[in-house]
Chains A and B, each alone.
Chain A
Amino acid sequence: MTVMASNDPDVALMLRVREGDTEALRELIERHQRAVINTIHRSIGDAWEAEDLAQRVFVQVYRSANRYKPTAKFTTWLFTITHNTILNERRRRSRHPAESLDALQDPADPESAGWQPPDPAGRDPAQEAVERELREKIQQAIQELPEAQRTAVILCRYEGQSYEEIAAVLGCSVSATKSLLHRARLTLKDKLRGYY
């Protein structure tokens, strides 16, 4: 336990959260908010709802802290909670499709895609439009993947998780994870043809 805590600053913070230290939780949120929000956003495609769900993930981290055991990387535990939150949201949406915020938003409206950082290269509007179209195409291609493939792609490509960590989040074997990623990559190759 102490070995894990000394190697992983997140584990040390989490052990403090377990004692009810909300300052430690704030640090954890600040370290991982972007990863959690983007994992949810890439999965469900709604920036506002992604933030709401990400808040629920961190609240769940706090409430489950006494069950946390520092035997694996903290991010594996965090992404497991995130994955379960996404699954619950998808189930809720399938029962109440009209309640989703994205049902009220226009997909063509850039506002509904959440706040994007300003373009550091200062590209012209035409170039920016091309980039936006590409981003939308990528998001659509990822969202159309089957659930497990989508999570595997997001965690591997954007969060740099290893096969082993992804397998732990999805609750499957490493070879199954490898197979999920391979099938997802073949699908993305076809769907993004013309954009690479």
Chain B
Amino acid sequence: MSCQTIIEQFGDRLDGRLSAAEQAAMEAHLAGCADCRREWEAYANAWQVLARDPGIEPSFGFAERTLRRLAERPSRVHWWSWRPSIRWAVLAATVAAVAVTTWVGHERAVGRKHAEVYARVQQADYLEDYDVIANLDQLKEGGRP
């Protein structure tokens, strides 16, 4: 077994997750490889030394103070603190909604303008004789439209 493979199994050894065969192979390798033995000792000792930090104790009345907070209203989380993927999705959806609303509004305004112009055209007196004007050439030639 290579040194790299042995080192990758250090965690399993530390957590007691090696099979009997793997454990035996590791022992055999460490017995004959001073570098890996040194690495293993450092790896295991560093993990052991973490226990020298015992942690802190909760302050007196922690549970009481926590229970008092149950009555508080949930604080509102600013939308920018959401998970980045959700944040960008919301931002993109908002931009898209604004764009669609603006476009629809613009289209409606243009439609209203056209309707207004059409109504005015319908009511224009000077277009009453449009057929005559359109067929003027035929009239000049004496023909009938």
Chain A interfacial positions (CB closer than 8 Å to B)? 22, 25-26, 29-30, 33-34, 37-38, 41-42, 47, 50-51, 54-56, 58-59, 62-63, 88, 91-92, 95, 113-117, 131, 134-135, 138-139, 142, 153, 156-158, 163, 178, 181-182, 185-186, 188-189, 192-193, 195-196
Q: Is the CB of B5 closer than 8 A to any CB of chain A? A: no
Closest to A87 in B: B83
| Residues of B with C-beta under 8 A to A189 | 42-43, 46
Q: How far is the CA of A47 from the CA of B57 in the complex (A)?
A: 10
Closest to A58 in B: B66
| Residues of A with C-beta under 8 A to B56 | 37-38, 41, 47, 50, 113-116
A-B complex: 9 closest residue pairs judged by Cβ atoms: A114-B56, A196-B45, A38-B55, A189-B46, A196-B49, A182-B11, A29-B63, A138-B53, A55-B66
The stretch of B67-75, B92-100, B129-137 that contacts the partner chain: B67-75
| Residues of B with C-beta under 8 A to A196 | 42, 45-46, 48-49
Closest to B8 in A: A182
Q: Is the CB of B21 closer than 8 A to any CB of chain A? A: no
The answer to whether A30 touches B81 (Cβ under 8 A) is no
Can you list 9 A-B contacts with CB-CB less than 8 angstroms, sorted by A residue number?
A33-B62, A34-B55, A34-B58, A37-B58, A62-B70, A88-B81, A117-B54, A117-B57, A189-B46
Shortest Cβ distance from residue B69 to the other chain A in the assembled complex, whole angstroms: 5
| Residues of B with C-beta under 8 A to A117 | 54, 57
The answer to whether A139 touches B42 (Cβ under 8 A) is no
Q: Is the CB of B103 closer than 8 A to any CB of chain A? A: no
| Residues of A with C-beta under 8 A to B52 | 131, 134-135, 138
Q: How far is the CA of A185 from the CA of B63 in the complex (A)?
A: 34
